[in-house]
Amino acid sequence: MRYHPHEILLQDARKMPELWRLAVGVVLVIVTWFALGLLSDLLVLPAVLALTGDADLFGGNDAAGMAVLLGNFLYAIIAVGLVLQMLHGRSLGSLVGPRDRVLRQWWQVVRILLVLVCVVVVLPPYDMGEPVVAQLTFGRWLLLLPLSLVLVLIQVSAEEILFRGYLQQGLAARFRSPLVWLLLPSLLFGMGHYMPQEAGDNAWLIVASATLYGMLMADLTARAGSLGPAIAVHFINNVWSLLVVASPSSLNGLALYLHPFAMDDVAALRPWLLVDLMVLLVTWLAARVAIRA
C-alpha cells in the first residue's frame, strides 16, 4: 500500500506519541466540545429562539435547529486545536496538512466528484420508487444555501479532523500497522452513526456502512498526506444527503427534498444502502485518481 505520504502528517505526531496523551486528549476534546456547546446554548439559543419562535435542536427538522446542530461542530475543531497545543505541542495546521497541499487536493477531488454527481443524476433510475417530497421552496433553499454550505463544511471538517486527523495520527504515531490506525477510528466513527430510534432494524447496517466509509477515508488520507481529499469527499456526500435529498426521519431542516421513505423502513431502504455502497466505492476510487493527477 502506498502510504508514504502519510508521513507528512505523522512528523509532528511522532514527537509525543504516548498513548496516554491520546487517551487524555480524547477525553479533553469531548469535555471541551461539550462545555463550549453548553456555553453557546446559554448565549446563542435565546437569540435563535427569539428570532424563530421555535427550533428543533435535537432532530434538526427545521432550518434553525439544523443550523445550530451543524454550527456546534465548530467547537469540536476548537477543542482539538486546544488539546493539540496543550498536550502535543503542535498546531491544528500540522494535523490537517500543508496548506497548499490541502487546498490543491481538496479542489482536485471536489472537481471530479461534481462531475460524478452530474453523471449519477443524469443516469437512470430517476426516482427512488416513489417521487421525492418537497421540503423547502426553491427560493428559500437558495437563499439559505451559502450559509448551509459553510455549515456543512464546518461539520465535515470537524469529523475528519477528529477521526482521520487526531485519532488516526495519534495511533499511527505509535503503531505502524494500518489495521490499528485505519480500523479503530473507523469503528468509533461508525458507532457515532448508531441511531436505533430513527433507523430501527437498519441501525446496524448504517453503522457498518459508516465504518466502511471511515476506513476508505482513512486510506485516502494516508495516500494523500493531507485531510483535504477526505474533507472533500465528506463535503460532497453531506451536501447531497443533508441539503439536496435528506431523510424524513431527522437532520433535514436545510434540505430541498426528502426521501419518500424513513430510515427505519427496512424494505425500502436496504436496497438503497447497497446503491450507496456502490456510489461510495466509486467516489473513493475517483478521489484516488484525482490526487494522482
Q: Strand, coil or helix: what is 146? A: helix
* Residue 229 · residue 287 · CB < 8 Å: yes
Q: How far is CA 55 from the centre of its chain?
A: 23
As beta bridge partners, residue 196 has: none
The predicted pLDDT at position 13 comes to 94
The predicted pLDDT at position 46 comes to 76
Q: 183-191 and 203-224 helices cross at what angle (nearest 10)?
A: 140
List the 245-246 sheet strands across, edge first: 133-134, 257-258, 245-246
* Residue 185 · residue 163 · CB < 8 Å: yes
Over its C-alpha atoms, the chain yields an Rg (Å, rounded) of 19
- Residue 290 is inside which H or E element, if any? helix 266-292
Note the pTM of the prediction, 2 decimals: 0.94
Rounded to 5 degrees, φ, ψ at 264 are: -95, 10
pLDDT tens per residue, the chain (293 residues)?
A: 589 999 999 999 999 999 999 999 999 999 999 999 999 888 877 777 667 666 666 777 888 889 989 999 999 999 999 999 999 999 999 999 999 999 999 999 999 999 999 998 888 776 777 788 999 999 999 999 999 999 999 999 999 999 999 999 999 999 989 999 999 999 999 999 898 888 888 889 999 999 999 999 999 999 999 999 999 999 999 999 999 999 888 889 999 999 888 888 878 888 888 888 899 999 999 999 999 86
Strands 257-258 and 133-134: antiparallel
The predicted pLDDT at position 203 comes to 87
What is the C-alpha to C-alpha distance for residues 246 and 152, in angstroms, rounded to an integer?
13
Neighbours of 85 (CB within 10 A): 12
As beta bridge partners, residue 133 has: 258
Q: Where in the chain are the domains?
A: 6-292
Pick from 219, 196, 176: nearest CA to 2: 219
